[in-house]
Structure 1
Amino acid sequence: MQVYYFYQHPTEHHIFVQKQLNTEAEIEFIWIDCTRADVVNRAEAWQKEIDQHTPVCLNEFHVKDILNLEHPCAFDTMDEYDLLIFRKLITPDDEIETGEQALEQHENTFGLATTPISFIMTPQVLITVREQGNKAVENYISRIEMNFIRSTQEQNKSRKFPITPLDLSLRLLNSMVDGYLDLRVPLTRRVEFWQQELLQGHRRFTKWNQLLQESMSFQQVENLCEEQIDALQELRDEIVDNYPHLKGKKRSERQDIMLVRMNDLVSHVERIQKHTVRLRASIQAAIDLHFSAIANQTNENMRILAIITAIFAPLTLLTGIYGMNFEFIPGLKSPTGFWSMLVVMLITTVLLVYYFYRRHLVGRGERSVIDLLAQQHKDQRVNLFWFLDYEPIKQSVKETMKEVEKLTKLK
């Protein structure tokens, strides 16, 4: 557990931070950063440690939610404090233990693991409960601690510190969400790998199980973004409806600035969600192209087999006829009968191949659809009764048929 005190400078009117109590400056708010190791298996002792620094008394159900490693993103408000549980995707930069030596086992679904971070906010206190190794939070803490070597007058010059717990929470959330944006490049490369695997033609694709897990992992990221957006929208509604409760009575922070930061945070999550949807669509498109190519190849093979069958069918008929066991067959005793039959079979084969070639069924199969459409227009035969399609003649024929029907009825 680490405690950081944010003070208002008495003369410079800016915020500076220290890890010790300072009676000469007015405390703006306190940030208590806790790891899950501080809370798990010692919830009562942790609550007593919190009581030593702040008057916040947590609800027992909220303590259970904080201890729940698989709790989804959620936001809840009470009279004394607000609770935000935000699930973070464990990235390669994090140093969170997920093996057998870990204090808690993170559920690893389809190759992705997430961890919760809890924000307990009051106008004067921010309590965070996170996993040890969360780089987004630890990097922010390291930037704060770098200012300890500076004087209180110079701490706020390089980077302005947050002035409320809500402001600090939004900055921590923004640092975590910005880390997601860096995942777009490796995820895109992963999709390109699967596209190449699916659309290659020199070997059969057999990695369907891995591809299914990849697609489900994108679905998990999409669901995670949806949970995060819902929780952030509830926090945004709380800012709109009850902003003085979040910032305190003495704070001069403007509400529209917090709303801009909140909208920016939500837009970043939405960008990740839309990018994930596009990647899933790309994988699905590659799968569709894969099966289309297989179907096209199968159709091509069936076309070749059908042509071979059509060419050899007349030859089979001829050999079948002259293979019948009759005593008298024309040409049976002729010395040139065999050669004559071979010539007939050869001419039949050449004529069939030429016919199929003219119909673009042999040699130019890739142009068969366009050529067949053109051939249909070219091969239109002359209609001997074309004059009946002429509109005035059609009308005359109809009137004549009506007159004939009237005469038939009179008779």
Structure 2
Amino acid sequence: MQTYYFYLNSAEAYTYVTKAPLLDKEPEFIWVDCTRADVIHRAEAWQKEMLELTQITLNEYHVRDILNVEHPCIFDAMDDYNLLIFRKLITPDDKINAGESALEKHESVFGLATTPINFILSSQVLITVREAGNRAVEAYVERTETILCRPIEEQNKPRKLALNPLDLSLRLLNSMVDGYLDLRIPLTRRVEFWQQELLQGHRRFTQWNQLLQENMAFQQMENLCEEQIEALLELRDEIVENYSHIKGKKRAEKQDIMLVRVDDLSSHVERIQKHTTRLRGAIQAAMDLHFSAIANQTNENMRILAIITAIFAPLTLLTGIYGMNFDIIPGLKDPMGFWIMMAAMLICTVVLIIFFYRRHLVGRGERSVMDMLAQQHKDQHVNLFWFLDYEPLKQTVKGTLKEVEKLTKLK
């Protein structure tokens, strides 16, 4: 648990931060950063510590919500404070212990794991409860520790410190949401991989279980973004209705600026949600195209088998007739009977092939649909001067050249 005291120098109008309270000044606000290890198995003692440090009495049900590692995103307003639970997607940058030795077990839904960050927010206090290894929050803590090493007059340069708990909360949320935007490129590359696997024509696609898991992970990502947007909208409503309840007493950012920052966070989450929806649609379109190609290939195979059956049906009839066990069959003892029968069968075969060819059922030279989808058009070039081949333009250019020649001769 770490505590930071933010003070305002009213004379020169700059903010500075310390790790210990100053005896002769009242802090603008206090930030208490806790890990879940500070709360689990000692919830009552932690409540008493927060009461002594911040003078805030935490609701028992809110403490239970904080202890629940799988609690969804919510925002709840109280008379003394507001509670915001924001679930963050665990990225490779996070060093959160999720193995067997972890203090708490994370439920991984289709390979997607999230971690909660709890914000207890009032006009003069911000309490954050997070898991150790949360890179977004720890990066901000490291930056604050770096600022502490500077002189008080230089702490607010080149980047201003937070002015109130709401401002600091939005900065922490912004650092987490900005990391989501970096996920768009790897997610897009993953979808491109599945599209290539589904539409390749060299081997049969067998990774259906893994594809289903990743498709459901995209859906879970959409649900997570929807929960985050709802929590941020409730926070925005609280800023609109009760901004005087959560802003700093001495100095605070204007309400419009806070609303703009909340809207910016919501728009970032919405961009990720829409991008994930588009990627799910791309995977679904590739699956539909794959099944359509398979169905078309099956129809093509059945067409070929039907043609072969139609060609061999008359031959089977002739051989069946002359294979009957009768003593007297016309041409049975004729020395040329075998060759006459072979000629008749050959003529019948040629006639049927010509008939099917005229009906465009054979000899079309089509490739497999899967092969056509999988082929790489390496020799395709875009003609940037395609408009020069446009016939009306050619005639106009020729007419202009003739007029120029006439004028040249007259001169």
Q: What TM-score, normalized by structure 1, do the two folds share?
A: 0.87
Where does residue 380 of structure 2 map in the other structure?
none
Deviation, 1:23, is 3.4
Which has the larger displacement, 61-70 or 245-254? 245-254
**Partner Cα separation in structure 2 for residue 75 and residue 14 of structure 1:** 31
Q: Percent identity?
A: 74
The 8 Å contact of residues 121 and 165 in structure 2, kept in 1 or not, is answered as yes
Where does residue 223 of structure 1 map in the other structure?
223
Is 1:287 the counterpart of 2:252? The answer is no
Deviations 1:221-269 (A, max 9, x none): 1111111111111100001111110104433421000000000000000
Asked which structure has the greater CA Rg, the reply is 1
The 8 Å contact of residues 3 and 31 in structure 2, kept in 1 or not, is answered as yes
Deviations 1:111-167 (A, max 9, x none): 111111100000000000000000000001111111112111111121111101011
Which has the larger displacement, 115-124 or 243-252? 243-252
Q: What TM-score, normalized by structure 2, do the two folds share?
A: 0.87
Where does residue 121 of structure 1 map in the other structure?
121
1:176-215 paired onto structure 2 within 5 Å: 176-215=176-215
Where does residue 379 of structure 1 map in the other structure?
none
Q: How many residue pairs get matched?
A: 367
Where does residue 49 of structure 1 map in the other structure?
49
Where does residue 278 of structure 1 map in the other structure?
278
Deviations 1:359-398 (A, max 9, x none): 111121649xxxxxxxxxxxxxxxxxxxxxxxxxxxxxxx
Where does residue 385 of structure 2 map in the other structure?
none
The one-letter amino acid of 2:168's match is L
**Partner Cα separation in structure 2 for residue 5 and residue 11 of structure 1:** 18
Where does residue 163 of structure 1 map in the other structure?
163
The 8 Å contact of residues 163 and 252 in structure 2, kept in 1 or not, is answered as no
**Partner Cα separation in structure 1 for residue 142 and residue 194 of structure 2:** 39
Deviations 1:50-93 (A, max 9, x none): 12321011000000000011110001001000000001111110
The 8 Å contact of residues 123 and 246 in structure 2, kept in 1 or not, is answered as yes
**Partner Cα separation in structure 1 for residue 236 and residue 22 of structure 2:** 33
Whose relative contact order is higher, 1 or 2, with alpha carbons under 8 Å and at least 6 apart? 2
SS, match of residue 242 in structure 2:
helix
Which has the larger displacement, 31-40 or 320-329? 320-329
Deviation, 1:331, is 1.4
The 8 Å contact of residues 9 and 25 in structure 1, kept in 2 or not, is answered as no
Is 1:75 the counterpart of 2:75? The answer is yes
5+ residue gaps, structure 2: 368-411
SS, match of residue 236 in structure 1:
helix
**Partner Cα separation in structure 1 for residue 95 and residue 356 of structure 2:** 67
Where does residue 267 of structure 1 map in the other structure?
267
Where does residue 354 of structure 1 map in the other structure?
354
Where does residue 320 of structure 1 map in the other structure?
320
The 8 Å contact of residues 36 and 131 in structure 2, kept in 1 or not, is answered as yes
The 8 Å contact of residues 90 and 115 in structure 2, kept in 1 or not, is answered as yes
Where does residue 334 of structure 1 map in the other structure?
334
**Partner Cα separation in structure 2 for residue 281 and residue 274 of structure 1:** 10
The 8 Å contact of residues 9 and 26 in structure 1, kept in 2 or not, is answered as no
The 8 Å contact of residues 28 and 248 in structure 2, kept in 1 or not, is answered as no
Where does residue 87 of structure 1 map in the other structure?
87
The one-letter amino acid of 2:331's match is G
Which has the larger displacement, 9-18 or 37-46? 9-18
**Partner Cα separation in structure 2 for residue 172 and residue 357 of structure 1:** 72
| Aligned-residue CA RMSD (Å) | 1.3
Where does residue 408 of structure 1 map in the other structure?
none
SS, match of residue 240 in structure 2:
helix
Runs of 4+ in 1 over 4 A off after TM superposition: none
The 8 Å contact of residues 94 and 134 in structure 2, kept in 1 or not, is answered as yes
Which has the larger displacement, 97-106 or 185-194? 185-194
**Partner Cα separation in structure 2 for residue 44 and residue 252 of structure 1:** 33
**Partner Cα separation in structure 2 for residue 98 and residue 310 of structure 1:** 64
**Partner Cα separation in structure 1 for residue 30 and residue 42 of structure 2:** 22
The one-letter amino acid of 1:348's match is C
Which has the larger displacement, 325-334 or 81-90? 325-334
**Partner Cα separation in structure 2 for residue 260 and residue 170 of structure 1:** 11
**Partner Cα separation in structure 1 for residue 196 and residue 65 of structure 2:** 44
Deviation, 1:306, is 0.5
The one-letter amino acid of 1:172's match is L
The 8 Å contact of residues 7 and 29 in structure 2, kept in 1 or not, is answered as yes
The 8 Å contact of residues 357 and 363 in structure 1, kept in 2 or not, is answered as yes
**Partner Cα separation in structure 2 for residue 74 and residue 315 of structure 1:** 77
SS, match of residue 116 in structure 1:
strand
**Partner Cα separation in structure 2 for residue 147 and residue 59 of structure 1:** 34
Where does residue 101 of structure 1 map in the other structure?
101
**Partner Cα separation in structure 2 for residue 94 and residue 208 of structure 1:** 30
Where does residue 5 of structure 2 map in the other structure?
5
Query: CA 1:229 to 1:209, structure 2 compared with 1: closer, same or farther past 3 Å?
Result: same
SS, match of residue 157 in structure 1:
coil
The one-letter amino acid of 2:238's match is E
Which has the larger displacement, 341-350 or 45-54? 45-54
Deviation, 1:335, is 1.2
The 8 Å contact of residues 83 and 121 in structure 1, kept in 2 or not, is answered as yes
The one-letter amino acid of 1:233's match is L
**Partner Cα separation in structure 2 for residue 216 and residue 326 of structure 1:** 70
Deviation, 1:189, is 1.3
